[in-house]
Amino acid sequence: MHQHTDTQKKHARTQLSGLLPGELEEAVVRLGEKRYRAVQIFSAIHSKGVDSAEGLSQIPSALRQLISGEFEISLLRPVRTSVSELHDTQKFLFTLTRLPEVKIETVLISEKGRNTVCVSTQAGCNVGCEFCATAKLGFRANLTPGEICSQVYLVKKLSGADVTNVVYMGMGEPFLNYDSVLRSLLLLTNEKGLSLPGRRITVSTVGFRQKISKFADDISLPENSSIRKVKLALSLHSTDNGIRESLIPSSSKNRLPDIYKELVYFYRMTGTKITYEYIHFPGINDNPDDIKRLASLSRMLPCNINVIPFHPISGELNGLLAPLNLGPDPDTKKLLSNHRLNDLIASLRDQKVVVNLRNSSGVDINAACGQLALAGEKHLSETH
């Protein structure tokens, strides 16, 4: 007979923080306890960030023991915090308790009175986007709902920040770990836990056919009313499918006309504006035709367009910045103030397109968009 090691047994245990209140109630009753204990446990984990059996101080010690025997409670181990010297941004490195060799990163961006946690949904990613440091890691693991939520609770605890917003824009493609992402949204917005308003959460995808429409259907279900107003962002980066394919390989099978149809459906079902993320690649997606197509896209549906400066992946400019002639090692300031970026934004505004320039929070600690790759921090202060 196959012998399980202790570690394997441990891995097989259910993660306590992944259970919704009804499921937790069933588990508590099964352990011979009163239902109301489930609410105490749920709120300790999801509202107070308790991640150990000892921390469940409101419940009797006999129940604590039963729970710690049956469930996995502590899901992530903090390894390091990197603090930006340029922006109010911190990056957190965690390992997964169930797979200690697997690491993930989470970012906290504090600006304009908001504390936004950017969570990872996968360790690594296999989509292979040309501009993304996570792609270079390949795929390592899908995160569980509890591991996604724990990033928010641990960042809150480690930084002392009151989390106001969550964006699913860290490592991984959320729609390739769909069920865990959906459940994590239900957990984060549950009124007995953190109770984060759905409209303060954004899920960002490169776009997969049938996933956007499924997401629209799922968040519109009456039982999922807490996540009905969750926002959707499409990593667009080019309105030309050929160019987009060279940047995002999965777009050869998920072509823009099909993605646009699903976005229309999403808007019809939820009434929520779409956000388009548009990393500026000079000479590649800032030509007059790009501007015309972006302008007409912006009239298709109520939307926001976020233009993001391209952040070179540490030590590599991937040729994507070559048209700027910035030399081999341009500094951040040069990258962010280049005239082609300003011209792109001005041309879009001339066409009455509502466009925001997203700044590069945490670029010095490789915490900005597309830079999460578990290494290569510069200028960082380590707190762990």
Residues in binding contact with ligand SF4, number by CB under 6 A: 11
User: Does 129 sit near ligand SF4 (CB under 6 A)?
Assistant: yes
User: Does 121 sit near ligand SF4 (CB under 6 A)?
Assistant: no
Burial 29-42 (b: 16+ CB within 10 A, else e): eeeebeeebbebbb
User: Does 104 sit near ligand SF4 (CB under 6 A)?
Assistant: no
CB of residue 119 vs ligand SF4: minimum separation in angstroms?
Answer: 12
User: Does 127 sit near ligand SF4 (CB under 6 A)?
Assistant: yes
Nearer to ligand SF4, 90 or 205 (CB): 205
User: Does 366 sit near ligand SF4 (CB under 6 A)?
Assistant: no
Q: Which residues are registered as beta bridge partners of 82? A: 91, 382
CB of residue 252 vs ligand SF4: minimum separation in angstroms?
Answer: 14
Contact range with ligand SF4 by CB under 6 A, out of 59-67, 122-130, 145-153, 282-290 = 122-130
CB of residue 125 vs ligand SF4: minimum separation in angstroms?
Answer: 3
C-alpha span between 356 and 350 (Å, rounded): 14
In the region spanning residues 161 to 190, those forming contacts with ligand SF4, defined by CB under 6 A, are 171-173
User: Does 367 sit near ligand SF4 (CB under 6 A)?
Assistant: no
CB of residue 233 vs ligand SF4: minimum separation in angstroms?
Answer: 11
C-alpha span between 337 and 244 (Å, rounded): 24
Nearer to ligand SF4, 163 or 171 (CB): 171
CB of residue 116 vs ligand SF4: minimum separation in angstroms?
Answer: 17
Which one is catalytic: 25, 105, 173, 377? 105
CB of residue 56 vs ligand SF4: minimum separation in angstroms?
Answer: 35
* Contacts of 319 by beta carbon, 8 Å cutoff, 6+ apart: none
Contact range with ligand SF4 by CB under 6 A, out of 31-39, 87-95, 128-136, 189-197 = 128-136
* Contacts of 230 by beta carbon, 8 Å cutoff, 6+ apart: 185, 189, 198, 199, 201, 202, 203, 219, 272
Q: Tokens 């965690």 belong to which residue?
A: 94
User: Does 236 sit near ligand SF4 (CB under 6 A)?
Assistant: no
Mapping DSSP to helix (H, G, I), strand (E, B) and coil, where does residue 235 land? strand
User: Does 134 sit near ligand SF4 (CB under 6 A)?
Assistant: yes
CB of residue 204 vs ligand SF4: minimum separation in angstroms?
Answer: 8
Which one is catalytic: 72, 277, 369, 377? 369
Any catalytic annotation for residue 101? no
User: Does 363 sit near ligand SF4 (CB under 6 A)?
Assistant: no
User: Does 132 sit near ligand SF4 (CB under 6 A)?
Assistant: yes
User: Does 107 sit near ligand SF4 (CB under 6 A)?
Assistant: no
165-168/201-205 β-pairing: parallel
C-alpha span between 206 and 382 (Å, rounded): 32
User: Does 277 sit near ligand SF4 (CB under 6 A)?
Assistant: no
- Distances from the Cα of 36 to the Cα of 29, 189, 191, angstroms: 10, 20, 15
Any catalytic annotation for residue 149? no
Percent composition of the chain: helix, strand, coil (DSSP 3-state, to 5) = 40, 20, 40
Mapping DSSP to helix (H, G, I), strand (E, B) and coil, where does residue 343 land? helix
Contact range with ligand SF4 by CB under 6 A, out of 132-140, 220-228, 255-263, 343-351 = 132-140
User: Does 135 sit near ligand SF4 (CB under 6 A)?
Assistant: yes
- Could you please report the per-residue DSSP string of 122-178? EEE-SS--TT-TGGGG-EEEEPPHHHHHHHHHHHHHHH-----EEEE-SSS-GGGGH
User: Does 206 sit near ligand SF4 (CB under 6 A)?
Assistant: yes
Residue ranges binding ligand SF4 (CB under 6 A): 125, 127-129, 132, 134-135, 171-173, 206
List active site positions.
105, 369
